[in-house]
């Protein structure tokens, strides 16, 4: 079990995400992390351990200033608790972040397919595989003239390949 949260608004995302994660910590206390979008790009901070002992301390010196973000508190299912296995996970480009609650049953087959396409992985999680899969589909949709957001199309395409039960934020 894990906890996921997202925020889009006019306030700084980090304090809102942290408070939400504290309220969800009972759903997972192995690690926690956030990804925040600001004018420079996507900033990810994640740490093993309880929120106030790990993530909150990591954010204190320089909290990302964006007003859009996602967060996650983890109870490990794939890969042991570690900074590297903490969520959010990024796609191959580093421009798409994913948090996930659940299990991707066919992640090993999907990972093999992505490795053959040149992807490299930084963690042992099924979630990073999902992030890379979404990124691979995003490359196909980016720049095409469509009334639907290319990220939404990429997520939908990726989830058609996934077997499992899950909740995600991208």
Give the DSSP letter string of the chain.
--EEEEEESSS-HHHHHHHHHHHHGGG--SEEEEEEEETTEEEEEEEES-TTTTHHHHHSSS----SEEEEEEE--SSS-SSTTTSSPEE-TTS--EEEEEEEETTHHHHHHHHHHTT---SSS-HHHHHHHHHHHHHHHHTT---SS-HHHHHHHHHHHH--EEEEEE-
Chain segment 28-51, per-residue pLDDT in tens: 889 999 999 999 999 999 999 999
pLDDT band of residue 22 (cuts 50, 70, 90) is very high
More confident residue, 143 or 65: 65
Chain segment 147-168, per-residue pLDDT in tens: 889 999 999 999 999 999 999 9
The rounded distance, in Å, linking the Cα atoms of 69 and 75 is: 20
Please report, rounded to a whole number, the percentage of residues in the chain having pLDDT higher than 70. Answer: 100
Stretch 84-98: mean pLDDT, rounded?
96
pLDDT of residue 77: 80
pLDDT of residue 3: 92
Stretch 104-117: mean pLDDT, rounded?
97
Structure token digits, residue 60:
């204190």
pLDDT band of residue 123 (cuts 50, 70, 90) is very high
pLDDT of residue 9: 97
Residue 1 clears pLDDT 80, i.e. is over it: no
Mean pLDDT for the chain overall = 94
């Amino acid at each position: 079990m894990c906890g996921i949260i997202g925020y889009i608004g006019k306030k700084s995302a980090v304090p809102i995400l942290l408070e939400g994660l504290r309220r969800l910590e009972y759903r997972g206390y192995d690690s926690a992390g956030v990804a925040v979008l600001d004018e420079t790009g996507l900033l990810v901070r994640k740490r093993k351990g309880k929120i106030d002992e790990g993530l909150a301390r990591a954010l204190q010196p320089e909290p990302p200033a964006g007003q859009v973000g996602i967060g996650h508190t983890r109870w490990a299912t794939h890969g042991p608790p570690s900074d590297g296995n903490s969520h959010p996970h990024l796609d191959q480009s580093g421009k798409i972040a994913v948090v996930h609650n659940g299990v991707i049953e066919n992640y090993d087959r999907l990972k093999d397919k992505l490795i053959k396409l040149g992807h490299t992985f930084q963690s042992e999680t099924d979630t990073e595989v999902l992030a890379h899969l979404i990124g691979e589909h995003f490359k196909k949709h980016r720049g095409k003239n469509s009334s639907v957001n290319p990220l939404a199309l990429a997520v939908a395409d990726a989830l058609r390949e996934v077997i499992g039960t899950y909740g995600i934020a991208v």
